[in-house]
Amino acid sequence: MSIIQPTQLFEFANFLANEAAQISRKYFRKTLQIDSKENKTPVTIADREIELRLRDLIKQHYPAHGIIGEEFANSAEQAEFCWVLDPIDGTVAFSTGKPTFTTLVALLQNNQPLLSMIDQPISQERFSALRGGKAHLNQQALTTSNVDKLSDVRLNATTPYMFTTPDEQVKFELLRKQVRLTSFGGDAYAFGLLAAGHIDVIMEADLQYYDIAALMPIIEAAGGVISDWQGLPLTRDFNGQCLACANRELQQLVLTLINTK
């Protein structure tokens, strides 16, 4: 059996992102039925069609690989190689015509992220990274910002409504009051912007593993740090809380602030 090279898998991930982009562009800003899943989150035909297409391609090319996805049941998720798919991250943005949704494609090797893509098909921006290499936006290498003071921080969260407990709300407010500016929106696209140096800290909650698996290689390869709110690694059983910072010094400042009682 020949050994599959990481670069070969990286090219396949690009192929998956290309296929997803064709489908999302087909449905973008069209009149679509918006359904609600059991967890009250929205889903459209585009979400389902993209994930089914990517699952079919993975099964065709790498039948032994596992798949974790948002819309359909996981398969062989304990396999050495396991793909993590979020067909449209930001379905609310997609459904309201905003070009900030993305398709997320990540590949785990022995439960550790090996490579990933954050793809925005309308602006044709693809953030990507392969473990051990640099993060890129298309062909441009990325580096996070060197901001190291809370008073200079550009903070982002997808929505203030994602902080569903009083403790989460208090901690977000603690940080928000210390930073230079706070913006909302962007979903996973915002994490690509952090990797590119345009955002300094992202604080999120109520996430699933398919929301964050593709973020980790890109943030880390650009020089940033991504963890839970206690500074611990994001594993498949994380509690939904995610903190991404442009550098480790900034991460330590945020962790000290939000965890000081």
User: Which CATH number does 150-259 carry?
Assistant: 3.40.190.80
Q: How confident is the model at residue 121 (pLDDT cuts 50, 70, 90)?
A: very high
pLDDT of residue 76: 86
∠ Cα 168 39 176 (to 5°) = 20
> Long-range contacts for 59-66 (Cβ within 8 Å, ≥24 apart)?
61/12, 62/4, 62/12
Indicate the helix (H) or strand (E) that contains 88: strand 81-89
Q: Nearest-CA neighbor of 242 among 150, 156, 126, 146? A: 156
pLDDT of residue 1: 44
Give the percent of the chain with pLDDT over 90. Answer: 89
pLDDT of 2 higher than 60: no
Architecture of domain 6-134: 2-Layer Sandwich (3.30)
pLDDT of residue 35: 77
In angstroms, the Cα distances linking 154 to 89, 203, 215 are: 22, 11, 18
pLDDT of 221 higher than 90: yes
pLDDT of residue 39: 67
Residue 87: Cβ within 10 Å count: 31
Question: Whole-structure pTM over 0.85, yes or no?
Answer: yes
Characterize the bridge pairing of strands 154-157 and 201-204: parallel
Residue 14: Cβ within 10 Å count: 16
Give 162's DSSP letter: G
Q: How confident is the model at residue 224 (pLDDT cuts 50, 70, 90)?
A: very high
Conformation bin of residue 223: beta by default, left when phi > 0, alpha when psi is -120 to 50: left
Mean pLDDT value of segment 60-76: 92
User: Which of the residue ranges 27-36, 118-127, 223-232, 252-261 would you say has the lowest mean pLDDT?
Assistant: 27-36
pLDDT of 153 higher than 70: yes
The domains of the chain are located at 6-134, 150-259
Residue 34: Cβ within 10 Å count: 13
pLDDT of 215 higher than 60: yes
b/e for 209-239, b at 16 or more Cβ within 10 A?
A: bbbbbbbbbbbbbbbbbbbbbebeebeeebe
Q: What is the mean pLDDT of the chain?
A: 95
Q: What pLDDT, in 10s, does the model give residues 17-51?
A: 999 999 999 999 998 887 776 666 778 899 999 99
Indicate the helix (H) or strand (E) that contains 119: strand 112-120
Characterize the bridge pairing of strands 140-141 and 81-89: unpaired
Q: How confident is the model at residue 70 (pLDDT cuts 50, 70, 90)?
A: confident
